[in-house]
Amino acid sequence: MTPDIAQTSRQIVMGWHFWIATILFLGAYALIVSEKIHKTIVAICGAAVMIVTGILAQDEAFHSLELGVDWNVVFLLISMMVIINIMKPTGVFEYIAIRSAKAAKGEPFKIMVIFSLVTAFLSAFLDNVTTVLLIAPVTLLICQALELDVVPYLITEALASNIGGTATLIGDPPNIMIASKAQLDFMAFIYNLTPVIIVVLAAYIISIKFIFGKRLAVREELKARVMAMHEKEAIKDPVLLKKSLIVLAITILGFVFHGMLHLQPATIALTGAGLLLLVSGIKDPHRVLADVEWATIFFFIGLFIIIGGVVKVGLIEWMSLEVLKITKGNLFGTSMVVMWFSAFASAFIDNIPYVATMNPLIIDMAKQLWPGLSGAQLLHHPDLMPIWWSLALGACLGGNGTAIGASANVIIVGMSEKMGSPISFKKFMLYGMPLMIESVLICTVYVWIRYYILNI
């Protein structure tokens, strides 16, 4: 049944507010893509103009749930960054990485697999960039000890971090944003995304076996260098480590039960951050707080306000109507288009502004399709759910397509260059694009079978 779309939509007034907001939105996108001006500065300036011109009232920008800053996303990100900033100096991540290399007994392909799995697992709970920044230095050290080419290891780690990050609500910013707007809880992501990510990861490991497996060889005597490393020496502060692990476990448990507890993920994360700050014995929280990536946080804040402006003037609603005209209310088709379009869009542009735009667009589309519904009934309409999952899978996994698709990729390209083995855009794409397409294909089959054939 296709509802009569034309009747349900309000009249979009294309006045000067509409055009100013549209130009601001497109201009901000273009500037972010061009990288001429830092994206955070673009977002802050765009947000300021949106309010100064009266398109969005300050009250709406700061306090409106529909149009304003999504504080759920902001506080979740800040709190997780605080937790990780306290944990970093304990040395636990170096410990895990060196332990992994030793578990692989210095075998080069085994190391690649274990490092990929560890990176994917950590990325499911931590920010991808942080995970790569913690694991990659150890990877480089191990590669140098074994006299291995660093490029395959860095690429496989970046790709694994983007795959792992897709698995949970807190793994990747697009998921955090989708969860907040669509009011989906942590366990919903575990039920719907984690199973397919496990399959994607398994396929990924098999693929890298074919791509790199035969090329990697290590002289026997070099393995002794890795086996001689005492991973326990990495632990600098065992007391703080114990405290952090306990608080992290409590926080993750909190995420698991946040739906039942009727608490938002941001509240859980903030509680965890507060608790760890309290028990860590840190006298002055200045350093821990200063190390929060404020540029990223303000990018989100500015972006939310810009998107709020174009939602208010009706641009997003207009776009959703155009999408509905193309898909003619076919929701399976819509979810496939959303997944593949998101994947290729995220391969070339930042997936954060992309998802920030797609969220209200999908909500508007749902409003057109089911005009009588609102709140959770609308957002969690059984026919809408696969579209949210397709957006999450496409936007997160799409980042693997190119060297600029995800921040983790940008980081490893930079590291590789410093090591004297630069990875060109083309070279990254040669590995990343086919593996990205493989993962999205798996997700396509998954979404189709699970939501359109089995309906579970």
Nearest approach in angstroms of CB 162 to another protein is 20
Where are any strands of DSSP class E within 102-189? none
Our CB check for another protein shows the closer of 36 and 230 to be 230
Nearest approach in angstroms of CB 72 to another protein is 29
The number of angstroms, rounded, from the C-alpha of 358 to the middle of its chain's C-alpha atoms is 15
Contact 125/171 with Cβ under 8 angstroms? yes
Long-range contacts at 244-252 (CB < 8 A, ≥ 24 apart):
244/83, 244/86, 244/87, 244/90, 244/92, 244/276, 244/280, 245/92, 247/83, 247/272, 247/275, 247/276, 247/279, 248/83, 248/87, 248/272, 248/276, 250/275, 251/83, 252/125
Our CB check for another protein shows the closer of 285 and 371 to be 285
Nearest approach in angstroms of CB 5 to another protein is 53
d(CA 177, CA 114): 30
Our CB check for another protein shows the closer of 276 and 415 to be 415
Contact 128/407 with Cβ under 8 angstroms? yes
Burial classification of residue 10, based on how many CB atoms lie within 10 Å of its CB (0-12 exposed, 13-18 middle, 19 or more buried): exposed
Long-range contacts at 366-371 (CB < 8 A, ≥ 24 apart):
367/8, 368/3, 368/5, 368/8, 368/9, 368/320, 368/321, 368/324, 369/3, 369/5, 369/324, 369/329, 370/3, 371/3, 371/8
Nearest approach in angstroms of CB 281 to another protein is 18
Nearest approach in angstroms of CB 300 to another protein is 25
Nearest 5 degrees, angle CA 295-CA 299-CA 300? 125
Nearest approach in angstroms of CB 93 to another protein is 8
Contacts of 366 (CB under 8 A, 6+ apart): 373, 378, 379, 381, 384
Our CB check for another protein shows the closer of 136 and 248 to be 136
Nearest approach in angstroms of CB 429 to another protein is 25
d(CA 46, CA 50): 6
Our CB check for another protein shows the closer of 84 and 339 to be 84
Our CB check for another protein shows the closer of 178 and 408 to be 408
Contacts of 248 (CB under 8 A, 6+ apart): 83, 87, 272, 276
Our CB check for another protein shows the closer of 94 and 127 to be 94
Nearest approach in angstroms of CB 248 to another protein is 17
Our CB check for another protein shows the closer of 105 and 418 to be 418
- Site residues (vs another protein, CB under 8 A): 88-91, 94, 98, 133-134, 136-138, 140-141, 144-145, 225, 228-230, 233-234, 236, 415, 418-419
d(CA 173, CA 313): 26
Our CB check for another protein shows the closer of 90 and 123 to be 90
Our CB check for another protein shows the closer of 92 and 443 to be 92
Q: Please state, as a whole number, how many other Cβ atoms lie within 10 Å of the Cβ of residue 178.
A: 25
d(CA 327, CA 305): 29
Nearest approach in angstroms of CB 154 to another protein is 11
Contact 364/310 with Cβ under 8 angstroms? no
Nearest approach in angstroms of CB 238 to another protein is 13
